[in-house]
Every structure is written in structure tokens, then in C-alpha cells.
């Protein structure tokens, strides 16, 4: 239904009309038809269920429709991971000789894909500072740039991209990775972006038990991506889609708690002499706090902070934690900490890590659902 707040849409979206409050789990990989004409019609259909699960599965379709409703999009397409969504989207839209504009401050896997397979296939990538006003538009080469790829907030330093600037770019497709914001934190499509993309493994599913990616936008464009995705084969599992639908139902209350705790932790860390910098869009000290306030409904559950002692201090702090768990990923119920330079961004060289903000003393914290006071106490003890 229209006119509802996103928190309500998270509960009402992706329903099949059967009256079942829990989503149905369709495990079938293939469906019987009434004969040859029906089989031919099914084989020629686009993004429809009832034929073969690589083309579409009812449980996965319910998840896609829920994301589309949350993003205010005409349709969505799910993948087996966030990287599956990135790779399929890029390769569906770009060919040899094409040009991409992307930001320096991106997830390490995205950077590796852009500098590895894309380069091997002859797709040129120009990296820009995503926080610099006008940087994306200035790097576009009219007639050659096929794709502008942004990530906001960025991983791991929580830098922001101006969504109005991205939406104003004409010519290339504009894709925004909004994983850290979630559909409840920001709405890139409403700012004019062509597509919004998520690693739904993270906050959307929210329980560390589903591996999914998803992209949403206009139906014609999503259908074009589908045509490539069925050949690429990064197909979403119905089991993971089922878990993600469950996660969507509680996304608003989970995210509210996590965002509130993340801001409390960030403010605590700002007060510590051992910490030289704290990165969280909700802090008044964040250089883009005004932009965050203008384009985000929630400031996010992730923060990062820099220790004065560099890598040795980071390793020492992580070893002293008892409640906060050393692990990659984010958005789940447990609070997780990682050292990006030796985990999520380890594949980058020294210069690449510096440009992405994954410095030796930086730690990334994904805030879970524990009491904020207990998380602060754990960090205080470790510091």
C-alpha cells in the first residue's frame, strides 16, 4: 500500500496474498507445465516464476518485491551475494572499451573487481574522491562512460556521496551501493539514481544467516539486468531469501537500536585520548554531518575509529575485548569489530588502502543489539 512510512512498508511488503503471515519457502528448482506451448511461453517470459529457479523462484520473487517496495522502485533483482549483484550489474551494463567512474572509498571486494576482471576485459575505471563535490560528474567522459558507481556511506570510513549530485548526472547509468544505509536509512532512487544496490547479507537480512545481493530500479532496466543475470548464474537461494524476508520484518526496530548504540559508542570514543579520530555520520564532528542530516533518515549502525598506536594498538585492543567479537560483515545482532587493512581491504596495496581510508590504526565496528552500556564498558576496558 502507498502512503506508509518505510518502517510500516518493511512489515507489509513482499506478501503473496495467501494470508500466510510467514513467507512460503519454495525449494523447487523446476515446475511442470501443461505441455510444449506452455513450456515455450515460460522460456520466453522475463523474470517470471513457474518455470526454472535460475530464472525466478517464488520465495526469491517475494524478497525482490519487498525490496522494490522499500526502495520505491518498480522492480528488484536478487543475487547470491552482494558481489554477485555488483559483478552482474557492471558486466550487464559495460563492455570492452567502456568507461566507469567509481570512488576510491569502496569495499575492498568492489575495488578488486573493478581493478581486476574489469581491467582484464578492457573496461577502463577512473577512481575519484567520492566526498569531493562534483568529482563524479567531472570524471564522466560523454559518449564513453557507461556507469557511475557510488557507495554511501563508504566502507570503512563512513564518507558520504551527495546523492543529488549523482542523480543529476546525465548519460551513464548511476548505481549507488547503499548497503550501510539500508533502505530505511537512505533512498538513492528518490534522488535520481538509476539503480540502488545492497549486500542484503548485512543489515537487511540482519542475522548473519543469509547470503544475498539485490539491485532495484525501473522495471525495464531491471529486466535487462535479469537477461544477463540468468547467464551469469549468481542466483539467489530461496532459503536465503526466506531468511531475508524475516529480517526485513524487524529491520526498523533492529536498525533503530543499532543506530542509537553506534552513536553512543562513537561519542564515547571521541572522548578517549587513545583515539585520534572517530568516523560516524551522526557525529557533529563528521565533516559531512550536514549532508548526512539532509539525505539520511538514520545515520547507520557502523562506525570506525583510528588508534594513535597504529596496527599494534589495533591488534592489542581487539585481543582485549570480551563482548565485542572479531569478525567481518556487519548489520547482524552481534557487535563485530575488524581491522580493514588486514581483512576487508587486505587485497589493496598500501596506496590503495590509504585512498580507501583503511589505515593501519583503523578499526571498524558494526554495532549489534547488545546494551550500549555493555559495549562501551567492553571498549573502555580494552582501551
Give the pLDDT confidence of 157-203 residue by residue, as tens digits.
999 999 999 999 999 999 999 999 999 999 999 999 999 999 999 99
Is residue 131 located within the same domain as residue 158?
yes
Q: Is there a single domain that holds both residue 280 and residue 377?
A: yes
User: Given this model, what pLDDT does residue 374 score?
Assistant: 98
pLDDT at 17: 87
Among the candidates 187, 215, 249, a domain finishes at 249
The DSSP string of 229-293 is HHHH--PPPHHHHHHHHHHHHTHHHHHHHHHHHHHHHHHHHHT-TTEEEEE-TTSTTSTTHHHHH
Give yes or no: residues 173 and 242 share one domain: yes
In a domain, 1, yes or no: no
Distance in angstroms (rounded) separating the CA atoms of residues 185 and 174: 19
The CATH number given to whatever domain includes residue 336 is: 3.90.1150.10
Task: Let me know whether 129 and 202 are in one domain.
Answer: yes
In this predicted structure, what is the pLDDT of residue 110? 95
Residues with pLDDT less than 70, the chain: 1-2
> pLDDT tens, 305-356?
999 999 999 999 999 999 999 999 999 999 999 999 998 888 888 888 887 8
Global pTM reads 0.95
Contacts with 312 (C-beta within 8 Å, 6 or more apart), sequence order:
none
Please check whether residue 329 is in contact with residue 366, taking contact to mean a CB–CB distance below 8 angstroms.
yes
Which cell goes with 310?
597504529
Tell me which residue range forms the domain holding 82.
6-249
pLDDT value for 370: 98
Instruction: List residues with catalytic annotation.
Output: 54, 107, 177, 202
User: What is the structure's pLDDT at 1?
Assistant: 43
**Of 231, 249, 267, which residue sits at a domain end?**
249
Count of domains for the chain: 2
Cα gap 174→88, rounded to integer Å: 15
Amino acid at each position: 500500500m502507498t502512503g506508509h512510512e518505510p518502517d510500516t512498508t518493511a512489515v507489509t511488503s513482499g506478501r503473496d496474498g495467501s494470508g500466510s503471515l510467514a513467507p512460503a519457502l519454495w525449494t523447487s528448482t523446476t515446475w511442470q507445465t501443461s505441455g510444449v506451448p506452455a513450456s515455450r511461453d515460460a522460456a520466453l517470459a522475463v523474470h517470471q516464476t513457474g518455470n526454472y529457479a535460475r530464472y525466478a523462484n517464488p520465495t526469491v520473487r517475494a524478497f525482490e518485491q519487498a525490496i522494490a517496495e522499500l526502495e520505491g522502485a518498480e522492480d528488484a533483482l536478487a543475487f547470491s551475494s552482494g558481489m554477485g549483484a555488483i559483478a552482474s550489474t557492471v558486466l550487464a551494463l559495460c563492455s570492452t572499451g567502456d568507461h566507469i567512474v567509481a570512488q576510491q572509498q569502496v569495499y575492498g571486494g568492489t575495488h578488486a573487481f573493478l581493478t581486476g576482471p574489469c581491467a582484464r576485459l578492457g573496461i577502463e575505471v577512473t577512481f575519484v574522491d567520492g566526498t569531493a563535490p562534483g568529482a563524479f560528474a567531472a570524471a564522466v567522459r560523454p559518449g564513453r562512460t557507461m556507469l557511475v558507481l557510488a557507495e554511501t556511506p563508504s566502507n570503512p570510513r563512513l564518507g558520504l556521496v551527495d546523492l543529488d549530485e549523482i542523480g543529476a548526472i546525465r548519460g551513464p547509468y548511476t548505481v549507488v551501493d547503499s548497503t550501510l544505509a539500508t533502505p530505511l536509512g537512505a533512498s538513492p532512487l528518490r534522488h535520481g539514481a538509476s539503480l540502488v544496490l545492497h549486500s542484503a547479507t548485512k543489515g537487511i537480512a540482519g542475522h548473519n544467516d543469509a547470503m544475498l545481493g539485490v539491485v532495484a530500479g525501473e522495471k525495464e532496466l531491471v529486466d535487462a539486468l535479469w537477461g544477463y543475470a540468468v547467464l551469469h548464474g549468481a542466483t539467489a537461494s530461496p532459503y536465503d531469501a526466506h531468511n531475508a524476508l524475516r529480517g526485513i520484518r524487524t529491520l526498523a526496530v533492529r536498525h533503530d537500536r543499532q543506530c542509537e548504540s553506534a552513536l553512543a559508542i562513537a561519542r564515547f570514543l571521541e572522548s578517549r585520548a587513545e583515539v585520534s579520530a572517530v568516523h560516524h555520520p551522526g557525529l557533529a564532528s563528521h565533516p559531512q554531518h550536514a549532508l548526512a542530516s539532509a539525505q539520511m533518515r538514520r545515520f547507520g549502525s557502523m562506525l570506525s575509529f583510528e588508534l594513535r598506536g597504529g596496527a599494534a594498538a589495533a591488534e592489542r585492543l581487539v585481543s582485549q575485548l570480551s563482548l565485542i567479537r572479531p569478525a567481518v560483515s556487519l548489520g547482524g545482532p552481534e557487535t563485530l569489530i575488524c581491522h580493514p587493512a588486514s581483512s576487508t581491504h587486505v587485497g589493496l596495496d598500501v596506496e590503495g588502502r590509504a585512498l580507501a581510508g583503511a589505515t593501519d590504526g583503523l578499526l571498524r565496528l558494526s554495532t549489534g543489539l547488545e546494551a550500549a552500556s555493555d559495549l562501551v564498558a567492553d571498549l573502555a576496558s580494552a582501551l
